[in-house]
Amino acid sequence: MMFIGPLMIEHRLIERMIRVMKVLLEDIETHDSVDPGRVDTIIHFIRSYADRCHHGKEEDILFRVLKDKPLSSEHRRIMEELVEDHKLGRKITLSLLEANERYKKGDAGALSAIADGFRSLVEFYPKHIEKEDKHFFIPLMDYFGPEEKEALIKEGYESDSRLLHEEYLDMVKILEGEK
């Protein structure tokens, strides 16, 4: 399944995080509180893994290459929808981040915004993943020859490697007080 296989494997990890969010959402609703550190961890996962790593490979590699392919109107439409989905996911995650920052500063009313953010992500990601897994990724294989598939795999691995180094470089800079 070339480049698509790793993307689908990434979906399985994102689904696991969605299950964690569901549990945390139930906890918020039951106890009327949340550990903002856990929320920060989830936001970091969504921003770094789901968006920068996963959606980044889709947008920066796969969609870039597909723009020059004679896609069916259905596949082109789905690709455009996926780009809009990614933008929506970023918007939801940013609102979750802002709500968590307000909550950390003592704004108890921000808890409902945190819960709304989790609800939105828990609703958004399964539909988005299903669209990619069942209606987009598999049919895409017909648009690529063997050499193209190899090139996509290589570029995906290089992208992952760069992201890993960027993340830890940023971490050290923050700890050094440079950022």
Place of tokens 């789905």: 78
Q: Are 162 and 60 in contact (CB under 8 A)?
A: no
Q: What is the full per-residue pLDDT of the chain (179 aa) written as tens digits? A: 567 888 889 999 999 999 999 999 999 999 999 999 999 999 999 999 999 999 999 999 999 999 999 999 999 999 999 999 999 999 999 999 999 999 999 999 999 999 999 999 999 999 999 999 999 998 988 899 999 989 998 999 899 888 888 888 888 888 888 65
Instruction: For residue 102, give the nearest of 89, 116, 121 by alpha carbon.
Output: 116
State residue 170's pLDDT score.
84
Signed CA dihedral, 20, 32, 93, 103: sign only: negative
How far apart, in Å, are the Cα atoms of 88 and each of 33, 108, 124? Answer: 26, 26, 9
Q: Are 43 and 97 in contact (CB under 8 A)?
A: yes
Helices within 32-145 (DSSP H only) = 36-45, 56-57, 64-66, 73-104, 110-132, 138-140
Buried b (16+ CB within 10 A) or exposed e, 103-118: beeeeeebbebbbebb
Amino acid, single-letter form, for residue 58: E
Domain limits of the chain?
4-176
Instruction: For residue 32, give the nearest of 118, 108, 95 by alpha carbon.
Output: 108
What is the CATH superfamily name and number for domain 4-176?
Answer: nmb1532 protein domain like (1.20.120.520)
Q: Report d(CA 142, CA 66) in Å as an integer.
A: 12
The two structure tokens encoding residue 134: 């069942």
Q: Is 166 helix (H, G, I), strand (E, B) or coil?
A: helix
State residue 16's pLDDT score.
96
